[in-house]
Amino acid sequence: MMDHTIVISGFSKSFAMTGWRLGYAAGPVEIIKAMTKIHQYTMMCAPTMAQHGAIEALRNGNESVKEMRTSYKQRRNFVVKALNEMGLACHLPGGAFYVFPSVKATGYSSEEFAQMLLEEERVAVVPGHVFGESGEGYIRCSYATSIKQLDEAMKRMNRFVQKHCK
């Protein structure tokens, strides 16, 4: 399968290098050469600092990745449990650092819910409709922050839900 496989990946999520926009491709030589030809005339190179950071991540980052994975799993589980307990149905995602709870039971659109939550409780979520028509009725919440901040956000969201959505 090596002759028929192309791997395209990056460092943003796997090594917490979000925003560095550094990635790689591996595959058959002739395909990578063609990709390189296109890339070199359409993109600038990644910053030297990001390249050195990626090398360090590949050489010595595995232990940090294990720690981050454990931490994200803990935060994910905390947030999903809190959302479900407050009445915002949320399934347990298998990856990334976002959850997508339903706000349909509240009677508000995703935009209304997000706007009111921001204004009243200072908690920012992304209305689901921005991800397409099927996202309406949901909000996207990131859990890429500390448990302490997530705990405060969940308390505020719960207060909001209890006030507006009984």
Mean pLDDT to the nearest integer, 14-40: 87
Q: In sequence order, which residues have a C-beta less than 8 Å from that of residue 89 and are 6 or more positions away?
A: 83, 101, 102, 105
Region(s) of the chain under CATH 3.90.1150.10: 64-164
Does 154 or 2 have the greater pLDDT score? Answer: 154
pLDDT at 158 over 80: yes
- pLDDT bin (cut points 50, 70, 90) of residue 2 is confident
- Give the Cα separation of 148 and 78 in Å (integer): 11
User: What is this structure's pTM?
Assistant: 0.75
pLDDT tens by residue, 60-119: 988 888 998 899 999 999 999 999 999 999 999 988 789 999 999 999 999 999 999 999
Cβ(107)–Cβ(38) under 8 Å? no
Which of the pair, 96 or 8, is modelled with greater confidence? 8
Q: What is the pLDDT of residue 48?
A: 86
Q: Please write the tens of the pLDDT for every residue from 32-53.
A: 999 988 887 777 777 888 889 9
CATH superfamily placement of domain 64-164? Aspartate Aminotransferase, domain 1 (3.90.1150.10)
- pLDDT score, position 81: 98
User: Per the structure block, which two tokens stand in for 6?
Assistant: 């192309």
d(CA 161, CA 119): 14
pLDDT at residue 65 in the model? 87
pLDDT at 130: 95
The whole-number pLDDT of residue 40 equals 79
Q: Is the dihedral of CA 158, 159, 165, 166 positive or negative?
A: positive
Band of pLDDT at residue 166, cut at 50, 70 and 90: low
In angstroms, the CA 133 to CA 25 distance is 32
